[in-house]
A and B are shown apart, each in its own frame.
Chain A
Amino acid sequence: MTTNDFLPAAAPVARLIQALHKLPGVGAKTAQRLTYYLVRMPEEEARALAEAIIAVKEQIILCSLCQNLTEQDPCPICTDPTRDRTTICVLEEPLDVLAIERTRCYAGLYHVLHGVISPMNGIGAEELKIRELLMRLNGGTVQELVLATNPNLEGEATAMYIHRLVSPLVPKITRLARGLPVGGDLEYADLITLTRAFQGRQAL
């Protein structure tokens, strides 16, 4: 379904509908509803929203070490002297870092891949932050790599691929325990399940 199905609308309205429709989880109808909500919104609120979007684009960068979103480079986690620098946990998305931080059971560093190998969608290893991970591991200080990609086909494939590449570089490679149900996303895991999965991580 394209937004054209809902037109005619004034050009600026159509443009906003189209822009919102590109957001994940926003269908054509939701994009339309949000647009008419925004049209009725007081001007200062609309301006604040627009500025917040610009601010994110201008001020948020990727940490040159862990590739997580940050305002400063390296990010607060990478520069925190209390974190264990011998362990790196590999994750698909920045939201997964938040999920694991909430468990308070992990004190090592992170590496965000920004996606997962998805051959049918044309996403291979080159599209992910895997080269950056190899560079971090070349230093030789990392003793354990925790592969915490989602427990589904693409997450497992990505974990297998990275495992194969890094096995000469890291003494211990682990995967989150099978307590996480197949098909679920890490970011939706409850604290207890995620903590158990983390504590029960298994060597590959």
Chain B
Amino acid sequence: MTKPRTINTEAIVLRAAELGEADRLLTLLTPAHGKLHATARGVRKTTSKLGGHLDLLTRSALTLSYGNQGTGLATVTGAEALDSFMSLKADLRALSKALYLGELADTFHPLEAPNPPAYTSFLEALQALESPADHDLVLRSFELRLLDLCGFLPQLARCVQCEEPVLPGGHFLSPAAGGVLCPACKPSYGDALPISVDALKVVRYLAANSLSSSLLVNVRLPLHRELAALMSSLLRYTLERELRSTAFLRAIAQQWPKAEDVPSRTA
């Protein structure tokens, strides 16, 4: 099967690496074509008309052209920004979270494997980071939805080992086992972490519901800490590494713990 010579698609720019004299190699997430690489020629020149439409975390309507044989790397031949997420980019805390989501999306999506619901989840998460919603809840919801859509969601209803339904209290989550464990089965897995009833409820709810429903949940700080730690060990196990952007996420959260601490560019 040969690819069409040009495709028109919307896309969100996940990565942009310098290439040659004035070009960039982009990593794009699209609804119908999955994750793609494409070159954007001359975009680092200030005379470039495309450049402004291809910045990181910008959603654009693109025309991608392939070579004569319809193979190889696509070149961006047309770009028009649909949403630049300017208010998100003007807020360091929201931006650090959006960059983390971007790296998460980039890491989970293999090249050219369409996953339209995952694209929608990513777009909705970015939009939610521009709203006054609980941004940590946006992260947790996106992490769980992505795990689910990519087939890595842990088993949350029954003990993974003995298949007994999970009853309140004394439960554990083991990334290696791929789900929750009852107290009796816990000793079989060294990585099993205690999970509170509330955390288990929230994780189950977020995994099963849309972002907009998930954002109705009211999560207090201690529970947020537990959820963040649980998701971090789950993702580290699934990806076999730590995401690079988590360092910046933590640095910003530590340096400026409250939203009002960070002046926005327009302030």
Interfacial chain B residues near A24, Cβ < 8 Å: 18
B258 lies within 8 A of chain A by Cβ:
no
A81 lies within 8 A of chain B by Cβ:
no
B219 lies within 8 A of chain A by Cβ:
no
What separation, in Å, do the CA atoms of A122 and B248 have in the docked complex? Answer: 8
Least CB distance, A9 to chain B, in whole angstroms: 23
Question: In B217-245, which residues have CB < 8 Å from any A CB?
Answer: 244-245
B156 lies within 8 A of chain A by Cβ:
no
What separation, in Å, do the CA atoms of A27 and B25 have in the docked complex? Answer: 12
What separation, in Å, do the CA atoms of A164 and B91 have in the docked complex? Answer: 11
Interfacial chain B residues near A42, Cβ < 8 Å: none
What separation, in Å, do the CA atoms of A163 and B264 have in the docked complex? Answer: 10
B206 lies within 8 A of chain A by Cβ:
no
Q: Decide if A183 touches B89 in the complex (CB within 8 Å).
A: no
What separation, in Å, do the CA atoms of A120 and B51 have in the docked complex? Answer: 20
Closest to B247 in A: A124
Closest to A155 in B: B55
At the interface with chain B, which of A57-65, A132-140, A187-195? A187-195
A39 lies within 8 A of chain B by Cβ:
no
What separation, in Å, do the CA atoms of A63 and B262 have in the docked complex? Answer: 31
Least CB distance, B179 to chain A, in whole angstroms: 30
Interfacial chain A residues near B53, Cβ < 8 Å: 183
Interface residues of B, dominant DSSP: loop
Closest to B266 in A: A204
Interfacial chain A residues near B19, Cβ < 8 Å: 25
Q: Decide if B248 touches A164 in the complex (CB within 8 Å).
A: no
A8 lies within 8 A of chain B by Cβ:
no
Q: Decide if A167 touches B22 in the complex (CB within 8 Å).
A: no
Number of A-B contacts (CB under 8 A): 100
Known: A120-B15, A122-B247, A181-B52. A153 touches B47 (CB 8 A): no
Q: Decide if A25 touches B21 in the complex (CB within 8 Å).
A: yes
Q: Decide if A119 touches B99 in the complex (CB within 8 Å).
A: yes
B157 lies within 8 A of chain A by Cβ:
no
B48 lies within 8 A of chain A by Cβ:
yes
Interfacial chain A residues near B90, Cβ < 8 Å: 156, 160
Known: A24-B18, A183-B51. A120 touches B44 (CB 8 A): no
Least CB distance, B189 to chain A, in whole angstroms: 30
Q: Decide if B55 touches A182 in the complex (CB within 8 Å).
A: yes
B126 lies within 8 A of chain A by Cβ:
no
A154 lies within 8 A of chain B by Cβ:
yes
Question: In B128-184, which residues have CB < 8 Å from any A CB?
Answer: none
A97 lies within 8 A of chain B by Cβ:
no
A152 lies within 8 A of chain B by Cβ:
yes
Q: Decide if B251 touches A153 in the complex (CB within 8 Å).
A: no
Closest to B91 in A: A160
The 8 closest A-B CB pairs, nearest first, are: A183-B51, A184-B46, A119-B248, A119-B245, A182-B52, A122-B244, A153-B56, A185-B44
6 further A-B pairs in the complex, CB-CB below 8 A; given A121-B244, A183-B51: A119-B247, A120-B244, A122-B247, A154-B56, A160-B95, A183-B53
- What are 7 sample pairs from A and B whose C-beta atoms fall under 8 A apart? A125-B251, A153-B95, A157-B89, A160-B92, A183-B43, A185-B45, A188-B22
